[in-house]
Amino acid sequence: MKKTLLAASLAVALAPAAQAEIFISEYVEGSGNNKALELYNPGEQAVDLSNYRVRVFYNGSTSSTNINLSGSLAAKQTFVIVNGQAVVGLRDLANLITGSASWNGDDAIVLEKNGAVVDSFGRVGEDPGAAWSNNNVRTVDQSLRRVGIVYDTNISDAFDPSVQWLQFPQDDFSDIGQFNGSGGPVDPEEPEPEFDLTCAAPFTPISAIQGAESASPLAGQTVVVEGIVTHTLSGLRGYMIQAADTEQDDNPLTSEGVFVYTNSQTLAVTTGQRVRLQARVAEFQGNTQLDNITATVDCGAAAIPAAVNLSLPVASSDYLERYEGMLVQFSQELTVNGNFTLGRFGELVLSHGRRFTPTQVVSPGAAAQALAAQHSLNKILIDDASTLQNPLQVPYPAPGLTAANTVRSGDTVVGLTGSLYYGFNEYRVNPTQPVNIIATNPRTTAPELTGDGNVKIASFNVLNYFNGNGVGGGFPTSRGADSALEFERQRAKILAALSALDATVIGLMEIENDGFTETSALADLVAGLRQSSGFADWQYIAVDAAKIGTDEITVGMLYRAALVTPVAAAQILDEQNSATDTNGVPLFDTSRNRPMLAQRFRLLENNAEFAVMVNHLKSKGSSCSGDPDLNDGQGNCNQTRTRAAEAIGVFAASQFADIPAVVLGDLNAYAKEDPLTMLASAGYVSAFEVLGKTPAYGYIFDNLSGQLDHMLLNADAQQYLVDATEWHINADEPIVLDYNTEFKPGNTVNTYYAPDAYRSSDHDPVLVALDLPRPLDIQLQLVRVNQGNARSGSKLVQLSWSSEQTGLTLYRDGEVVSTLTKPGIYNNQFKTQAESVTYLLCYDATKQCSAPLVVNF
């Protein structure tokens, strides 16, 4: 039959070129990095390959990655190009090994001679999605062989792979290097090998099929095998079989289980049945399997092999390969580290304990790289045994995921048991027993602080809060909600979170940058907060400009007018007023970082003053020219953020050295990274570090927990610190519980949603409580200053104060000068090279201090 199909295809193929030319004769888009291209010379003379190059156009791009050829290709011979990370069996067939052979099913390939198109595969400039396909022939997860000596020199015309190409299974390398040779279609007139399907007759052991490497040594071969059905997986269109205990080999590197792919959700086998199969060995996305089942024989009931005990972390990256397809169990308690794909694919990421982003807990560079390597060995996925996307019911947690029945990062799983499967570059367990998820990390109704103090300052990234045109329309917006309904759902969640914070001042990130009018996003949020919180005194800080910066999103600040009042106008830090480096270049690059908003406040109950500075620095994901990812764990744009941090420190010292001050916001840097180190050198230290509450986290990326949103306090603020917390309403929650309506089929658009604080954003809000004392009503005055001793270079400063208060301490630049017991004139003689010093008179019993006195020399 296959031979007849090939002949028919040749009969309708395009006519060959007038003068024989080399062309693309076979294309391999296999599992993992199994990528190959075969070129064939149909002519009578050898060809100089230095005149040719292969161009790869990724994802619809019109720019290419080029593979230059060299050497000579003899008449009637092939030239094979293979990816350097392909399996050994494929690499052994290569004439050229290159990392540029990394195409997927949606990438176009062009063969050129001296700049002229000779042949092509796909359509340049078009991204077809996953693949080009027609008539059941597709360009992804397949091996394709040319129907004959044909060419396609038009790189812009529509591409139908079924016209010139025959499809063969994924990872079928049997014809590579032969151009429809002996490894090509089989003539049905030729006798097939005979296989004995008698139960208990000799068969190929599963361990021999699996082999000791990542790919099967028998890939592409037809075998007869016997095994016990351990797990039926209709969602994966197949089932697992495993060798009986008495039939297993003594090689610890070879698995005793394998997946049988039937391509049907109706399975004719049952768990505990022994079956004998005639099937082909194949690799699918790195998972060894049996497919093309041509015979199945029932060999009776058998005892299911016991599950293998495993624990995390594993010894090496390929350690679990030896158990692929087998029953496994984890007796240790495992922690949910990620649920990002729970709603979309039914997956949970588990580890032994919570894993932290390396630079949250260790220094960038070698230490971070070492920890990242350890993390990669401490991970396993729970899957729902299905390839269905956006299912109507997600099984975890039982009886199913809803807005009220969630599984959070930090929850734990005990006794995980199932079959081990490899797919989409991850080892995963498809459970054979109910998954016991323990709510170790329960939700709370509000942030938990040990004390409120008299000022509570919060930081919250509101994840693209865009209110359309401000009067109910204007959707979809460039960011945020796509419809008025989505905005209504988003607004309810954000307001629930902000109200529960019960803060005095709130710094915002990722709010729409549309100014301060009544229809702005900021005004809308305040109007809603007045209603939801029950406090009509909520106000927002406005600046003397149309908006802050030029980015689509900006920072903002809200405050309770009944509790605090702004002192003077708000200030902006951007490149216009930034400190500069030694070359005179502003440290704060506003083209990359959002400008900082700073405001000085006075607490109405006792006149204590404090300052809040709200930031949102450049992200790690987007690139910065001249500031790339150095693979030290800090991502892109680290220097951009570090320079901005230096500018913030200089600004804060010049504006708020005399009062408690807080630098807060999304710094897009983890706790041990350079921007935080820079701010610490300027005296701004994490409240969590001051309290010993580390490691902290408020954001989860790539299933690792870390802290991008910070609350940094100067020395004055640190001494009045009561407590700090992160309210884990977002990072630990599945993203599918957010306000969006897409990818939520049926009634899940309602069951996944609740108008509460949970998954209102992707960042957790941060909250700090301060107990600011009433300022000391004592005026420290300068009497005179002169050279105390010209020869020694000392200075003499005379100070006076009028209060009869005793037990006062005089500080100079933060250091104790003297404990004063009575008012009068105080002479302070000392040596210094500084141009100025700052004196402070404090009553330490109540932590009250006078206004600082700066003395210039």
Each residue's pLDDT tens digit, 343-355: 999 999 999 999 9
- Structure-block tokens of residue 352: 């032994």
Split into its structural domains, the chain has a count of 5
pLDDT of residue 664 exceeding 50, the answer is yes
Is 185 domain-assigned?
no
Indicate the angle between helix axes 521-533 and 484-501, nearest 10 degrees. 60
- DSSP label at 512? E
Helix (H) or strand (E) holding 328: strand 327-330
Is 184 domain-assigned?
no
In angstroms, the CA 376 to CA 199 distance is: 42
Residue 290 and residue 359 share a domain = no
Is 561 domain-assigned?
yes
Determine what percent of the chain is predicted with pLDDT higher than 70.
96
- Given 274, 289, 306, the domain boundary residue is 306
Q: What is the CATH number of the domain that holds 287?
A: 2.40.50.200
- Cβ contacts of 638 within 8 Å, gap of 6 or more: 627, 630, 632, 669, 673, 674, 675
Any idea which of 119-128, 218-227, 817-826 has the lowest mean pLDDT? 817-826
Average pLDDT over residues 694-723: 97
**pLDDT of res. 181:** 58
- Given 257, 279, 306, the domain boundary residue is 306
Q: What is the CATH number of the domain that holds 476?
A: 3.60.10.10
Q: Please report which confidence band the pLDDT of residue 780 belongs to, taking 50, 70 and 90 as the band edges.
A: confident
Residue 465 and residue 408 share a domain = no
Q: Is the peptide bond before 586 cis (omega within 30 degrees of 0)?
A: no
Residue 616 and residue 559 share a domain = yes
Q: What is the CATH number of the domain that holds 803?
A: 2.60.40
Strand 699-701, strand 704-706: pairing: antiparallel
Q: Which of 467, 312, 281, 452 is nearest to 378 (CA)?
A: 312
**pLDDT of res. 7:** 31
- Given 282, 306, 330, the domain boundary residue is 306
Strand order in the sheet with 594-603: 564-573, 594-603, 609-616, 661-666, 709-713, 685-686
Q: What angle do CA 72, 74, 78 make, to 5 degrees?
A: 95
CA-to-CA dists, residue 407 to 410, 732, 747, 749, 761, angstroms = 9, 8, 19, 18, 17
Residues 29, 56: contact at Cβ < 8 Å? no
In angstroms, the CA 179 to CA 657 distance is: 77
Check residues 529 and 250 and name the one with the higher pLDDT: 529
In angstroms, the CA 639 to CA 364 distance is: 13
Q: What is the CATH number of the domain that holds 82?
A: 2.60.40.1260
In angstroms, the CA 427 to CA 719 distance is: 49
Is 324 domain-assigned?
yes
Residues 304, 271: contact at Cβ < 8 Å? yes
Is 595 domain-assigned?
yes
Q: Which of 299, 253, 302, 261 is nearest to 279 (CA)?
A: 261
Q: Please report which confidence band the pLDDT of residue 801 belongs to, taking 50, 70 and 90 as the band edges.
A: confident
**pLDDT of res. 19:** 47
pLDDT in tens, 355-404: 999 999 999 999 999 999 999 999 999 999 999 999 999 999 999 999 99
How many other C-beta atoms lie within 10 A of the C-beta of residue 151? Answer: 21
- Cβ contacts of 223 within 8 Å, gap of 6 or more: 203, 204, 209, 278, 279, 280, 281, 290
Is 9 domain-assigned?
yes
Check residues 831 and 676 and name the one with the higher pLDDT: 676
**pLDDT of res. 819:** 86
pLDDT of residue 17 exceeding 60, the answer is no
**pLDDT of res. 175:** 87
Residue 430 and residue 338 share a domain = yes
- Average pLDDT of the chain is 92
- DSSP label at 481? -
Is 142 domain-assigned?
yes
pLDDT in tens, 233-270: 999 999 999 999 999 998 999 999 999 999 999 999 99
- Structure-block tokens of residue 51: 């005149």
Residue 592 and residue 678 share a domain = yes
Residue 290 and residue 362 share a domain = no
Any idea which of 171-180, 182-191, 565-574, 702-711 has the lowest mean pLDDT? 182-191
Residue 288 and residue 264 share a domain = yes
In angstroms, the CA 345 to CA 235 distance is: 12
Is 195 domain-assigned?
no
**pLDDT of res. 821:** 65
Residue 487 and residue 596 share a domain = yes
Residues 691, 683: contact at Cβ < 8 Å? no
Average pLDDT over residues 594-620: 97
**pLDDT of res. 792:** 72
pLDDT of residue 594 exceeding 90, the answer is yes
Residue 629 and residue 590 share a domain = yes
pTM as predicted: 0.76
Q: Collapsing DSSP states into helix, strand and coil, what is residue 30? A: coil
Any idea which of 177-191, 573-587, 601-615, 840-854 has the lowest mean pLDDT? 177-191
Q: What is the CATH number of the domain that holds 315?
A: 2.40.50
Residue 301 and residue 326 share a domain = no
Q: Which of 664, 782, 658 is nearest to 712 (CA)?
A: 664
**pLDDT of res. 340:** 97
DSSP 170-181: TT--TTTTTSSS
pLDDT of residue 189 exceeding 50, the answer is no
Residue 746 and residue 837 share a domain = no
**pLDDT of res. 3:** 28
pLDDT of residue 823 exceeding 80, the answer is no
Q: What angle do CA 125, 131, 132 make, to 5 degrees?
A: 70
Torsion of CA 344, 347, 350, 354, to 10 degrees: 10
* Domain interval for residue 492: 455-770
pLDDT in tens, 265-306: 999 999 999 999 999 999 998 999 999 999 999 999 999 999
CA-to-CA dists, residue 776 to 699, 750, 840, 851, 854, angstroms = 41, 56, 10, 8, 17
Residue 331 and residue 367 share a domain = yes
In angstroms, the CA 687 to CA 671 distance is: 12
Q: Output the CA torsion sign for 698, 702, 704, 706.
A: negative
Average pLDDT over residues 88-110: 90
Q: What angle do CA 146, 37, 123 make, to 5 degrees?
A: 70
**pLDDT of res. 10:** 33
Residues 752, 740: contact at Cβ < 8 Å? no
Q: Which of 259, 266, 224, 225 is nearest to 239 (CA)?
A: 259
In angstroms, the CA 433 to CA 385 distance is: 12
pLDDT in tens, 721-755: 999 999 999 999 999 999 999 999 999 999 999 99
Average pLDDT over residues 467-474: 96
Any idea which of 8-12, 493-497, 582-586 has the lowest mean pLDDT? 8-12
